[in-house]
């Protein structure tokens, strides 16, 4: 147990604190806590800019981040060969638009979810997910 007045540790059988003389009945058990840190929305966006899904991993959306990280190269590879091979130049433009749209969505979604994480953390003192 710890002294409620000065905070030093005292034995359970002691009647008085050896540091300040406080009666042991005033002692309380110390509680430990883990400080939770906010997530940087800029870092989440930058990580998603570098590779789809990295920003989601950073903010703790592990499943979504892994799915995006694994599916993005498949979409890039297959989409390129299917669209460009089947439609030529139009397929290339369509492929570029689709890839760009998914990439931009990943960046903005990671940024938005980092802000949601921080808002929930400030309001409730715990992680949202």
pLDDT in tens, 57-78: 999 999 999 999 999 888 888 8
Same domain, 105 and 88: yes
Q: What is residue 24's predicted lDDT score, i.e. its pLDDT?
A: 74
Q: How far apart are CA 110 and CA 53, in angstroms?
A: 8
- The pTM score is 0.70
Q: How far apart are CA 110 and CA 61, in angstroms?
A: 9
Q: What is residue 29's predicted lDDT score, i.e. its pLDDT?
A: 56
Q: What is the largest CA-CA distance in the chain?
A: 87
Same domain, 22 and 52: no
Cα of 18 vs its chain's centroid, Å:
45
Same domain, 67 and 87: yes
Same domain, 7 and 50: no
Same domain, 69 and 28: no
Mean pLDDT in order along the chain per 10 residues (129 residues): 76 81 64 80 97 96 96 86 85 87 95 97 90
Residue 23 β-bridge partners: 16
User: Count of domains in the chain?
Assistant: 2
- Give the alpha-carbon dihedral of 105, 109, 110, 115, to 10 degrees: 150
Same domain, 20 and 52: no
Q: How far apart are CA 107 and CA 96, in angstroms?
A: 16
Would residue 101 count as lying in a domain? yes
Which SS3 state, helix, strand or coil, does residue 3 take? Answer: coil
Would residue 129 count as lying in a domain? no
Q: What is residue 27's predicted lDDT score, i.e. its pLDDT?
A: 45
Structural domain boundaries, residue 72:
41-124
């Amino acid at each position: 147990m710890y002294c409620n007045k000065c905070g030093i540790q005292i034995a359970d059988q002691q009647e008085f604190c050896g540091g300040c003389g406080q009666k042991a009945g005033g002692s309380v058990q110390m509680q430990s806590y883990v400080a939770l840190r906010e997530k940087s929305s800029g870092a989440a966006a930058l990580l998603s800019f570098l590779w789809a899904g990295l920003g989601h991993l950073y903010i703790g959306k592990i499943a979504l981040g892994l799915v995006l990280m694994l599916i993005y190269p498949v979409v890039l590879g297959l989409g390129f060969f299917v669209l460009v091979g089947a439609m030529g130049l139009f397929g290339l433009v369509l492929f570029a638009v689709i890839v760009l749209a998914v990439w931009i969505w990943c960046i903005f979604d990671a940024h938005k979810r980092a802000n949601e994480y921080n808002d929930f953390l400030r309001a409730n003192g715990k992680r949202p997910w």
